[in-house]
C-alpha cells in the first residue's frame, strides 16, 4: 500500500510556476555619455514581461542632453526608439556633469539626475589562466580559460568600475565547396573553393562585471576575475579574442549596475533573486511618483584586447556535419545544394556528398567572412 501511494504521489507532481507580480508597460530609458568623440546613443522603450523579453520602441520622442553649464545637444531618431547624436571633444570633458531630457509624444517630460564624468583608473593588464571547473559528475571537469584584469590607481580616478566584454572567435565550415548544383547545372571548383570556409563571429558577453575599491586602502584591483570560456563549445578551437571595456562610475551608477548585474548573472532559481525592474535615475518631471526604468550615466572608457591562438592541451569540439550520398546527379533532384566529392575529396564525382548549406557556408552560422583588422 505504501509503495502504491508513493507511486501515485510521484505521478501527480506538477511543475511549480511561481506567480511573479510585475508592473508592465513602464517607460524604459537607457543612455551613456563617454569621453570619446563620436555617435552617442539613447534608447526609449516600454518594458516587457520578464519571461518574454523584447524591445518595444517609443518613437517620436525629443531627446536632449545638457551639461552642467547649460550647453546641450538634441538627438536624432535613426530607428524607432533609438536616438543618436555626434558629440565632439569640446562637449565631453572629465569632471563635467550631464543630464538627459526625454519628451514623449503624449506630452510627458522625463529627465535624469546629473551624472558626473569621472576619470577611469588604469586598466593595467588583461590576461588568462588555463583552469577547470567541476561538473555534476564527480571527477569530471570542464577545461577552459579564466580571464582576469589588473586595475591600477590614478590620481582623481573613480573608485567604481564596470566592465563590458565582447568576444570574437574564428570558426570554419566542416567542408570546402567542390560542386554547386542549382537544379540544372553542376558547377565544379578545382581546387575546392574556401570562399565560405572561414568566418569570424563577434558578440557581446552576456554577463556584466562591476567592482568598487571604495572601502579599500588603494584604488587598485589585482587578478579580478572576469568571464570563463570553457571547452564545451568550439570558440577556442582556432583563435579567440576578448575586448574588455572598462567604465568609470559614480557611486549612484555603481549601485544601479550592481543590481542589474545580480539580476543578469544569477541563475534565477526558485529561491534566488526574482527578476524585477531596477529603478534608475530617470523620473517624470511632472509626476515623480511614476515608476520609470533605466539609467543615464557618464563615464570615461578604457579598453584592452587580448588575442589567443589555440595551443591548449585540452580537447575542444569542432562543428561537424553528416553528409548524405548521391550516386548520380539524378539523385539530387531539383534541390539546391553545396556539395563535395566523397572519397577522396580531391577526386571527381560521383558519388557526391551533400548536406545542409550551413555545412559549407560559414556565414549561415552567424559570422562574417570579413577578417577583423586586429586578427593578424
Q: Cβ distance 244 to 150 under 8 Å?
A: no
Quote the pLDDT of residue 344: 59
**Cell digits for 35?**
569621453
**Predicted model pTM:** 0.85
pLDDT of residue 80: 97
pLDDT tens digits along 146-196? 999 999 988 889 999 999 999 999 999 999 999 998 888 888 898 889 999
Q: Which residues contact 138 (CB under 8 A, 6 or more apart)?
A: none
Peptide bond into 22 cis (omega under 30): no
Residues 163 and 151 sit within 8 Å (Cβ to Cβ): no
> Mapping DSSP to helix (H, G, I), strand (E, B) and coil, where does residue 35 land?
coil
Quick count: other Cβ atoms within 10 Å of Cβ 94? 15
pLDDT number for residue 23: 53
Residue 278 confidence (pLDDT): 66
Q: Which residues pair with 350 in a beta bridge?
A: none
Q: Which among 35, 22, 37 has a CA at the least distance from the CA of 85? A: 37
Angle, CA of 34, 74 and 38, to the nearest 5°: 35
pLDDT at 1: 44
- Kindly report, residue by residue over 231-257, the tens digit of the pLDDT: 999 999 999 999 999 999 999 999 999
Can you tell me the distance from the alpha carbon of 77 to that of 60, in angstroms, rounded to the nearest whole number? Answer: 8
- Other Cβ atoms within 10 Å of 206 Cβ, number: 9
Per-residue pLDDT of the chain (376 residues; tens, 9 = 90+): 444 443 333 444 444 444 444 556 899 999 999 999 999 999 999 988 867 778 899 999 999 999 999 999 999 999 999 999 999 999 999 999 999 999 999 999 999 999 999 999 999 999 999 998 887 888 788 999 999 999 998 888 999 999 999 999 999 999 999 999 888 888 889 888 999 999 999 999 999 899 999 999 999 999 999 999 999 999 999 999 999 999 999 999 999 999 888 877 664 433 333 344 567 999 999 999 999 999 999 999 999 999 999 999 999 999 989 888 888 888 887 767 777 776 555 567 788 888 889 999 999 999 999 999 999 8
- Residue 9 has what pLDDT? 38
Q: Is 253 within 8 Å of 319 (Cβ atoms)?
A: no
SS (H, E, C) 39-77: EEEEEEEECCCCCCCCCEECCCCEEEEEECCCCEEECEE
Amino acid at each position: 500500500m505504501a509503495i502504491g501511494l508513493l507511486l501515485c504521489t510521484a505521478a501527480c507532481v506538477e511543475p511549480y510556476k511561481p506567480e511573479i507580480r510585475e508592473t508592465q508597460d513602464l517607460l524604459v530609458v537607457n543612455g551613456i555619455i563617454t569621453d570619446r568623440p563620436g555617435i552617442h546613443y539613447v534608447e526609449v522603450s516600454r518594458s516587457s514581461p520578464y519571461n518574454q523579453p523584447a524591445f518595444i520602441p517609443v518613437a517620436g520622442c525629443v531627446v536632449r542632453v545638457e551639461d552642467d553649464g547649460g550647453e546641450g545637444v538634441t538627438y536624432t531618431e535613426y530607428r524607432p526608439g533609438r536616438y543618436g547624436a555626434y558629440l565632439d571633444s569640446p562637449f565631453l570633458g572629465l569632471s563635467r556633469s550631464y543630464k538627459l531630457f526625454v519628451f514623449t509624444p503624449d506630452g510627458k517630460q522625463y529627465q535624469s539626475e546629473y551624472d558626473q564624468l569621472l576619470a577611469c583608473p588604469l586598466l593595467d593588464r588583461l590576461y588568462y589562466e588555463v583552469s577547470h571547473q567541476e561538473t555534476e559528475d564527480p571527477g569530471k571537469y570542464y577545461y577552459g580559460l579564466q580571464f582576469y584584469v589588473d586595475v591600477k590607481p590614478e590620481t582623481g580616478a573613480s573608485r567604481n568600475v564596470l566592465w563590458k566584454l565582447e568576444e570574437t572567435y574564428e570558426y570554419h565550415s566542416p567542408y570546402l565547396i567542390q560542386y554547386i548544383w542549382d537544379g540544372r547545372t553542376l558547377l565544379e571548383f578545382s581546387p575546392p573553393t574556401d570562399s565560405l570556409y572561414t568566418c569570424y563571429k563577434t558578440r557581446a558577453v552576456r554577463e556584466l562585471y562591476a567592482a568598487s575599491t571604495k572601502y579599500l586602502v588603494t584604488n587598485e584591483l589585482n587578478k579580478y576575475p572576469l568571464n570563463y570560456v570553457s571547452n564545451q563549445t568550439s570558440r577556442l578551437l582556432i583563435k579567440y579574442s576578448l575586448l574588455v571595456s572598462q567604465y568609470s562610475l559614480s557611486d549612484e551608477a555603481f549601485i544601479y549596475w550592481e543590481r542589474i548585474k545580480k539580476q543578469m548573472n544569477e541563475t534565477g532559481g526558485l529561491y534566488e533573486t526574482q527578476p524585477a525592474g531596477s529603478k534608475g535615475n530617470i523620473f517624470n518631471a511632472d509626476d515623480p511618483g511614476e515608476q520609470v526604468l533605466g539609467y543615464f550615466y557618464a563615464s570615461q572608457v578604457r579598453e584592452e584586447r587580448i588575442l589567443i591562438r589555440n595551443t591548449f592541451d585540452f580537447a575542444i569540439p569542432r562543428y561537424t556535419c553528416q553528409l548524405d550520398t548521391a550516386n548520380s546527379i539524378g539523385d539530387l533532384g531539383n534541390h539546391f545544394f553545396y556539395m563535395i566529392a566523397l572519397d577522396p575529396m580531391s577526386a571527381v564525382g560521383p558519388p557526391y556528398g551533400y548536406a545542409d548549406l550551413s555545412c559549407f557556408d560559414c556565414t549561415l552560422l552567424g559570422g562574417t567572412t570579413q577578417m577583423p583588422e586586429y586578427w593578424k
